[in-house]
Amino acid sequence: MSETTALPELRILLSVIDCAFDKPSWHGANLVSAVRGVDAQSAARRIRGRKCIWEQVLHAAYWKHAVLNKLAGTTPFERRGSNWPRMPGRADASHWKTDLELLRGTHRRLREAIISLPRGRLDEQSIWLIHGAAAHDLYHAGQIKLLRKLLIAD
């Protein structure tokens, strides 16, 4: 099934997760725009005991994957650790790019799982999970924006 032939309810849910992730919306920064322009060194920098931007990105990817598993039963998350997966041993541009792509790829797979949901599988639990994934992205977009401000002030 394609996005254009998906159930109208699914197209609405796709819009919700996309606005929270990488599409324009009224509320301001989405998750992708929150990390736009952040380099690996800044992403890895810890401010006063808080989780760093890189950890926020991996955490967001992990929970997108958890929702994907609930909807479609996929494979284990590709990084070690749960909830707050471990950053790579070296915080360099190559690893940062890889982890940003992990986040984007997980979002793409989640979208595909939503598009493929049959009418009978679209229940309150599935809707709740999808809305939750969007809210989670927005929460961490805000966390990242705050961390960026703290990086400048520090």
Q: What is the pLDDT of residues 35-75, one digit of tens each?
A: 999 999 999 999 988 999 999 999 999 999 999 999 998 78
Per-domain residue ranges of the chain: 8-153
Residue 140 burial (10 A CB sphere; 0-12, 13-18, 19+): buried
Cβ of 23: how many Cβ atoms within 10 Å? 14
Q: Which residues contact 65 (CB under 8 A, 6 or more apart)?
A: 74, 77, 106, 110
**By C-alpha distance, which of 74, 73, 75, 42 is closest to 57?**
42
Asked if the model's pLDDT at residue 80 lies above 90, the reply is no
* pLDDT on residue 25: 85
Residue 8 burial (10 A CB sphere; 0-12, 13-18, 19+): exposed
Rounded to whole angstroms, how far apart are CA atoms 118 and 59?
28
Asked if the model's pLDDT at residue 16 lies above 90, the reply is yes
Asked if the model's pLDDT at residue 117 lies above 80, the reply is yes
Cβ of 126: how many Cβ atoms within 10 Å? 18
* pLDDT on residue 3: 65
Residues shown for the chain:
154
Rounded to whole angstroms, how far apart are CA atoms 66 and 110?
10
Q: Is the pTM of this model over 0.75?
A: yes
Topology of the domain covering 8-153? Four Helix Bundle (Hemerythrin (Met), subunit A) (1.20.120)
Q: What share of the chain is helix, strand, coil (3-state, %, to 5)?
A: 65, 0, 35
Asked if the model's pLDDT at residue 111 lies above 90, the reply is yes
* pLDDT on residue 65: 96
